[in-house]
Amino acid sequence: MEPNKAKMAEHFINAIPHCKALNMRLTDIGAGKAEMELPYDDKIVGDPETGVLHGGAVSALMDTCCGAAAMCHPSSPSGTATIDLRIDYMRAATPGQNVRTKAECYHITRSVAFVRATAFDDDDSRPVATATGAFTVQRK
């Protein structure tokens, strides 16, 4: 992928108010792949008794990361929107740990980008969640 496209995608992610509100970071991007991180924060806890993060915050992370992967695919012209996204929750993310996700656009047509993603906490061997989604490909 051209470096200017990576810059553009990174700029776009950083300009998203909701991602800023959650302090999300784009840690890597290129050729249909993206990696992002969501810092642990008390304000996005879903279970106050255990301190486990809410699924919605993980959804936002995975949705953004999948969108970034779709956008930076070499045959994607630019913008994208989610058509559908399914998230499977394998286990609770460990309280206090950041959630990291890797997304990959594994197939793209003229109108649809197919993306999957996996999320982890500090333990790389056991995924926290996986996601699969379809995204729009904007015509030029």
How near is the Cβ of 120 to another protein at its closest, in Å?
18
Which region, judged by CB under 8 A, interacts with another protein, from 27-35, 69-77, 87-95, 115-123? 87-95
Nearest CB to another protein, comparing residues 25 and 54: 54
Binding of another protein at residue 21 (CB under 8 A)?
A: yes
Contact flags string 29-48 toward another protein, x per CB under 8 A: -------------xxxxxxx
Shortest gap between Cβ of 74 and another protein (angstroms)?
22
84 binds another protein (CB under 8 A): yes
82 touches another protein (CB under 8 A): yes
Three-class secondary structure assignment of the chain: CCHHHHHHHHHHHHCCHHHHHCCCEEEEEECCEEEEEECCCHHHEEECCCCEECHHHHHHHHHHHHHHHHHCCCCCCCCCCEEEEEEEECCCCCCCCCEEEEEEEEEECCCEEEEEEEEECCCCCCCCEEEEEEEECCCC
- Number of chain positions touching another protein (CB under 8 A): 37
Angle at CA 45, nearest 5°, toward 41 and 47? Answer: 150
Output 30 or 46, the one with its CB closest to another protein: 46
Closer CB to another protein, 4 or 15, in the complex: 15
Q: Do residues 48 and 10 touch, judged by C-beta distance below 8 A?
A: no
Binding site for another protein (CB under 8 A): 15-21, 42-49, 53-57, 59-64, 67, 81-89, 92
